[in-house]
Amino acid sequence: MRELHYKISKQFKLKTVGIYIAAAMVVFISVFPFIWMFFTSIKPPNEIFTLNPQLLPHHTTLENYVRVFKGTMFSRYFLNSIIIAISTTVLGLSIAILGAYSLARFEYPGRHSFLLIILTVQMFPTVVLIIPLFVVMRQFHLLNTYYCLIIAYTTFTLPFCVWMLKGFFESIPKELEEAAMIDGCSRVGAFSKITLPLSAPGIAATSIFSFIGAWNEFMFALTFINKEVMKTIPLGLQAFIGRFAVEWGQVMAASVMFTIPSLIFFMVVQKYLTKSLFVGAVKG
């Protein structure tokens, strides 16, 4: 019996070690490009343009970062992207939360047709929306403004957010809201005090999708924006690509700065992703 227990324990340990090794390899493959990008951003030009590139620099310099901020309008691009991404996330979530809740809790004529329309919109590539949206933005004189990009980004993030939040709201028992309303809460009160806090993991997940989608978007910005002062970071990165040469050090430095807001945003909301769905559901 001891031998059998020993064999099972050994197999379990080997399986666990194998899982950890596989996970470490996946993490390394995912993170290595960012590590290379960072070290390249602090290398001098003679170590970047070499026949035998190395990961670690022999001499470090912040010259690439200085040139990014002093030689271009990168600070303005950065501010534009922050304003647009945060506004898109707030607007998209505000609409998606209300829309998803109504789809999850109420029965009304056209509900299933509306769900089908949302699903159908998700099937089309976003590039299909560029020309119709461009015509609309031009008619309302919204080109080269924050509003055109916020509205455009909301159009392709909103359907996914509604579908995702609908599933979270449906997973929360209706009885919790009914109990709150019996205790004296209104429908709005039960929603804000019970359902909304319990759906925090879903809201966090959809906010990450919405923010990163708006932060990384390129095609809509390229189509709707032609003023230098209104460009976002994805468009601004083109400034480092010349006709005869590419400033790789500055490209990497700008890319590092481009990555930081997404990481910070994810770190802020990630705690809600692991939060138990029913934390606080039991009345104390």
Encoded amino acid at 233, one letter: I
Whether residue 94 contacts residue 206, with contact meaning beta carbons closer than 8 Å, is answered with: no
- Alpha carbons within 13 angstroms on the beta-carbon side of residue 204 total 18
In the numeric block, which tokens belong to residue 137?
């933005």
The strand pairing partners of 241, in sequence order, are: 246
Would you call 246 helix, strand, or coil by DSSP? strand
DSSP assignment letter at 56: S
Q: Which two tokens stand for residue 23?
A: 């996970």
Question: What's the pLDDT at 5?
Answer: 56
Please state, for a pLDDT cut of 70, what percent of the chain lies above it: 90
pTM beyond 0.85: the answer is no
pLDDT of residue 262 exceeding 60:
yes
- What is the amino acid identity at position 9? S
pLDDT band at 91 (very low <50, low <70, confident <90, very high): very high
Of 59, 34, 56, 55, residue with least CA distance to 44: 59
pLDDT of residue 280 exceeding 50, the answer is no
Q: What is the rounded (10 degree) CA torsion for 261, 97, 220, 257? A: 0
Contacts of 49 (CB under 8 A, 6+ apart): 248
* Nearest residue to 83 (alpha-carbon basis) of 210, 220, 212, 232: 232
List Cβ<8 Å contacts ≥24 apart for 253-258.
253/41, 253/64, 253/65, 253/67, 253/68, 254/68, 254/74, 255/37, 255/41, 256/37, 256/38, 256/41, 257/65, 257/68, 257/74, 257/78, 258/233
Task: Choose between 203 and 10: higher pLDDT.
Answer: 203
Residues in contact with 148: Cβ distance below 8 Å, sequence separation at least 6, in sequence order: 133, 137, 142, 224, 225
Chain-wide mean pLDDT for the chain? 83
Q: What is the pLDDT of residues 21-30, one digit of tens each?
A: 888 898 888 8
Q: How many whole angstroms separate alpha carbon 198 and alpha carbon 202?
A: 9
